[in-house]
Structure 1
Amino acid sequence: MESVEVTAEGTHLSAAWLSAQISEASATGIASTVTQLIRAGEVAAGVQLPTVRALAARLAVSPGTVSAAWNILRKQRVIEGSGRQGIRVLERPALLAPQRFENVSRYWQGDVLDLTLAAPDPLLLPDLAHAVANAAPDPDQNSYRRPGITPALMKAVAPTWGWEPDSWLAVNGGYEGILLLVSSSILPGQHVAVADPATPRLLDILELAGVVVVPVATDADGPVPDSLKQALTKQPVAFIYEPCANSRSGTNMTPARRDLIADVLRDTRVLIIEDDGLGDLALGPYAGLGALLPSQTVLVRSYSKSHGPDLRLAVVGGPAEPMERARLYRQFGAGWTSRTLQNALAWMLTDDAVKAQVQHARTEYAKRRTQMAKLLADRGVMVESHDDGLGLWVPVLNEQQALLVLASHGVAAGGASGGAIRGGHRQSIRLAIGRQLERPDEVADLYAMASRAL
C-alpha cells in the first residue's frame, strides 16, 4: 500500500495507509502516531494529511476525533493549515517553546547592545548573598514539607497587599504564578478576557493552554469598561490585566477606573488575575481590584526586577479555591519555592537599608526614562508614554524595518506586535532603560533614524 498520492496540488498522505498505522483511534492516539511517523522519517515534511472526513471514515470514528488530533498537532507545531486549504506537515516542525518570548530574547548572546528586555540594572539590586546571610533560619530547612509560603515572607508582604487574601503562595517568578493559575483554573477552549496589548509571555502561556483570547482595549487609565463589557458577552472564565506599570504604556490603573472595572465585574464569576511584574519599583500605588472584589481577585506580584532575578520569586495572593488548585497543580513539578530564598526576600522587604536601596533604584529608573524620552523628543520622536517601568516604546513607521535598521548598527530591540492581540495598534519598538547606557545620545540618534524607516 502506497503511503502517498501525488496530484497536481502536491503530495498527499494516503488515508488508507495512515489508518493502517494507527493502533489507537483516539485523538491522542492519532496525534501520537503521526508524530512518531514524522520523527521516524516515514512522513515527509510538506506532505498534506488526509481530510478529516476521509481519515475518520477509515478509522470508523467521528470527524471530531480526527479534528481534535489535528488540533493537538497544531498546538505542538507539527502541522499547519486548515481543512479548506489543506493540512500539511511543517517543513521544520518546531520545538514546543514560547515563540513570542523566544523572538524577543534571541539576542541574549553575542556582541550586541540588547535593548529588548525591560531588565533591571544589576548595580541597583540589593546584595542577594548578604540577604541570605542575614535571613532568619527556617525551622523546616531541608524538609520535604511543601509550604505555600514561609511565615516570614507572608508577614513581610501582607502589609503591602491592599487587602487580606484567603491564601498565599510563593512561586518561582511571576510567569510561573500565571502559568499555574491558567493551567489549573482554565480549560482548553474556554474564553479568557485579556487587556490588549498584553505581554508576549502571557500570550504564549494562553496559547499553550489552548484558551480563546478575547481582547479588552486599554487606555492611559487602564482597561476600558465598555470594551470589558463587550468581552463579557463571550462568557470568559477569567480576566487578566496589569494593574501597575503596564509593560506597554508604563501607566498605572487609576482608582476611578478601578471602580468602574469593578462595577463591570461585580456579580460575575470571572476570575481576575492581576499581573504585577514591576512590584516594588512601581511609582504609582497599587489600585487593583482585590480590595473591592476579594473573592474573585488573585494578585501575582514579582520581586525579580526590584530585588533580583536570581531570587526567582513572586508571591501570589487571592481567594482559597483558585489558590488551592494552583498549589495542588504545582505538586506535579517543583512543589515549593526555596525557603532560604523566601526568607532572604522577607529580610530585604523589612530591612531599612534595602528599602532605601529600592527607593534609590526607583528614582534612578525614573531619571533614565526621562533622559531618554527627552533625547528622543529633541530628535522629533515622542515616545508613547514614560510614566513608569523599565522600558520606553518608540513609535515607528514600519516596525520590521526599524528593527533591521537598529540591528545593522549592532542594537537589538523588540517590536510591539508580539504583544498585540488584535490589529490597529500603533507600530513601535522597545528601548530598555534598565541599565545605564554608555552613549545615550548615539542610541537616541539610532532610534530616531529607525523610527523613520519605511
Structure 2
Amino acid sequence: MVVDARKDHDVIAEIEGRSAAEIADSLRALIERGRLRPGDALPPVRTLAEQLGVNRNTAVAAYRQLGASGLVVTRGRAGTRVAGAAPVAQEGFAADTALRDIGTGNPDAARIPDPSRALLGIARRPVLYGEPVIDPGLEQWAAEWMHHDLPAGLPLRLTVTSGAGDAVERLLAQALTRDDAVALEDPCFLTSIHTVRIGGYRPVAVPVDEQGMTVAGLRAALEQGVRAVICTPRAQNPTGASLSAERAAELRAVLAEHPYVLVIEDDHYSLLSQRPFHSLIGPEHRRWALVRSVSKFLGPDMCLAVTASDPETAERLAMRLTPGTTWVSHLLQRLVHALAIDPEVAAGIRAAGAHYAARNRTFAELLTAQGLPTEPGDGLNVWVALGAPARAVVEQLMRRGWLARPGDEFALAGGAPPERLRLTVHELDDEELRRLASDLAASVRAAREASGAAEPVRLAEVG
C-alpha cells in the first residue's frame, strides 16, 4: 500500500485549538468530514503539543475525550488511531444462528405475567398536557416499595423513566459534563458501559468480588476524582454478586467522606432477587438515586423504571421529563401498577425468582462435579471460571452446538481478558444442563491443550 505522506501531513496541519475541548472538536470535524479515516494514525502527543504550542497534558486530555467517545483507540506503542465501526455487544438473542443460544441474558418468556386481564381495566380517561407525570396509583405503590429499603427519614422524591438505562443516562447527564470520571463495576453491565461511552464520560474500573464492589477499588476510584458511582447492590450483571451487609457498611463509610459524589444504585433484579438488599446510600449522603426497573419480572418490553432520589436530583430529572416531551405513558404506568398489585402476578414473580435460582444452582453443581468449581450467585445468569481463554472455549462450544458469551465483553480494565463465560441456562431442562456441563468441560480441556497449558485441568466425566 502506497502512503501519501504529503496528504497525511496536510491533514495533521489542519488540527487546531488551544484547549483540550477545542483540539478534540477539531479532530472530530476532520473525522466526520472523512479527512481522517478509520485506521489513520494521529500524531504522538508530544508532536501535537509542540505543533499547537500547548501543554502535553492538554493534548493527552483531547485524545482522552475522543477515546471516551469511541472515536479513537490508543494502542500503547502503536500510537493513537481513528477507530473503526466496531460492533458493540448487546443483550438479547443472537440473530441468524442455528446454535443453542445460552448467552441471551433474557428472562424466561413463559414466566412473564400475561397482561391481558390487566389491560382491560386501565383504559380510563385520557391524560392531557400539564397533568402530573407520575400516575397516582403507581406513585403510591412505588413510594412504599422504595421507602422500605432506604434509611428511615431520608428525604426522597420519585421519578418514572423509560427503563433503567434511560434513568442512568439522565442521572449522569444532569450531574456531569464530558470527560468527567464515573466509577463502574468491573466486570460491568453492558448498558452501563454503553451509557458512559456514549455520554463521553471517563470510566474508572472498580473490581467486583463475591461480595460485590470492593472497598479498595471504590476508594481508589474516589481518589481519581470520580463524580459518580454506579453500583449494582445485588444480582450484579454479569457476576451474580450481591453486597453483604458488612461490605455495604464499609462502602458507606468510604462514601461518607464524599457526600456530593452522585451514587446510583441499579437494583435491576429487585422483586426476583433471592438476596437481601443492602444499600450504599448513607443517611447523610447528599446526591443519590435508587433505580428499579420492571423489565426482568414484567418483561423487557415493559420499558419503565422507578427512581427514588434526593430532592435536588429529582428536580433536575423532572426538568428532563416535562409533560409534552418525554414523560412515560400513563397507560404503561397504569398497566405496571395493575400487575404489581395483583396477588396472582406477585406469586408468579416469586416463583420465577425461585426457578431462576434453582436452575442456576443445579447447573453450578454439575459444573463443580466436572472440575469447574462454580458459585451460582443471584440473577438470570451464571458466571463460570474456566482456567482457559474464554474465546477459545466459546469456539469449542460452537462446534458442539452452543452459542456462549465470553466474559471479556463485560470487562473494563486494560489487563488480560477474564477467563470467564456468562451463561443463561434457566430455560434448559435437566438433560440439557447435563449435556452443556459435559460439553463445557470438554471445551475447556480442548482450549487449554490448544493453548499449551502445562497441566491440563483434570475434568470428571458426567455419570
SS in 2 for 1:418: helix
Task: Give the counterpart of 1:232 among 222, 227, 237.
Answer: 222
Shift of 1:282: 0.4
Contact 2:287–2:313 (Cα < 8 Å) also in 1: no
Aligned to 2:188: 198
Aligned to 2:461: none
SS in 1 for 2:422: strand
Letter in 2 for 1:111: A
Aligned in 2, Cα 1:390/1:84: closer, same or farther, shift over 3 Å? closer
Aligned to 1:6: 5
Moved more, 439-448 or 212-221: 212-221
Moved more, 286-295 or 118-127: 286-295
Contact 1:217–1:227 (Cα < 8 Å) also in 2: yes
1:185 equivalent to 2:175? Answer yes
Letter in 2 for 1:303: V
Aligned in 2, Cα 1:315/1:165: closer, same or farther, shift over 3 Å? farther
Shift of 1:306: 0.9
1:322 equivalent to 2:307? Answer no
Moved more, 208-217 or 114-123: 208-217
Shift of 1:323: 2.5
Aligned to 1:156: 141
Moved more, 319-328 or 75-84: 75-84
- TM-score normalized by structure 1? 0.83
SS in 2 for 1:264: helix
Shift of 1:148: 4.2
Q: Between Structure 1 and Structure 2, how many residues are aligned?
A: 432
SS in 1 for 2:5: strand
Letter in 2 for 1:6: A
Letter in 1 for 2:399: S
1:128 equivalent to 2:115? Answer yes
1:445 equivalent to 2:438? Answer yes
Letter in 2 for 1:418: E
Task: Give the counterpart of 2:427 among 425, 428, 435.
Answer: 435
1:407 equivalent to 2:398? Answer yes
Shift of 1:273: 0.6
Shift of 1:80: 3.9
Letter in 2 for 1:155: Q
Aligned to 1:35: 31
Letter in 2 for 1:429: L
Aligned in 2, Cα 1:6/1:198: closer, same or farther, shift over 3 Å? same
- TM-score normalized by structure 2? 0.81
Aligned equivalents of 1:218, 1:147: Cα separation in 2 = 40
Shift of 1:415: 1.6
SS in 2 for 1:14: helix
SS in 1 for 2:306: strand
1:356 equivalent to 2:337? Answer no
Letter in 2 for 1:149: I
Letter in 2 for 1:143: L
Task: Give the counterpart of 2:206 among 196, 210, 216.
Answer: 216
Aligned equivalents of 1:205, 1:224: Cα separation in 2 = 22
Aligned equivalents of 2:324, 2:71: Cα separation in 1 = 26
Shift of 1:116: 1.1
Shift of 1:412: 1.5
Shift of 1:134: 3.0
Structure 2: gaps (5+ residues): 449-463
Aligned-pair RMSD on alpha carbons?
3.4
Aligned in 2, Cα 1:421/1:53: closer, same or farther, shift over 3 Å? closer
Aligned equivalents of 1:16, 1:365: Cα separation in 2 = 55
Within 5 Å, which residues of 2 pair with 1:262-341? 262-268=252-258, 269-290=260-281, 292-293=283-284, 295-330=286-321, 335-341=326-332
SS in 2 for 1:310: coil
Aligned equivalents of 1:216, 1:287: Cα separation in 2 = 18
Letter in 2 for 1:262: R
Contact 2:68–2:179 (Cα < 8 Å) also in 1: no
**Percent identical residues:** 26
Aligned equivalents of 1:406, 1:17: Cα separation in 2 = 50
1:370 equivalent to 2:361? Answer yes
Aligned equivalents of 1:332, 1:343: Cα separation in 2 = 17
Aligned in 2, Cα 1:393/1:346: closer, same or farther, shift over 3 Å? same
Task: Give the counterpart of 1:117 among 91, 104, 118.
Answer: 104
Contact 2:24–2:63 (Cα < 8 Å) also in 1: no
SS in 2 for 1:258: helix
Aligned equivalents of 2:426, 2:56: Cα separation in 1 = 52
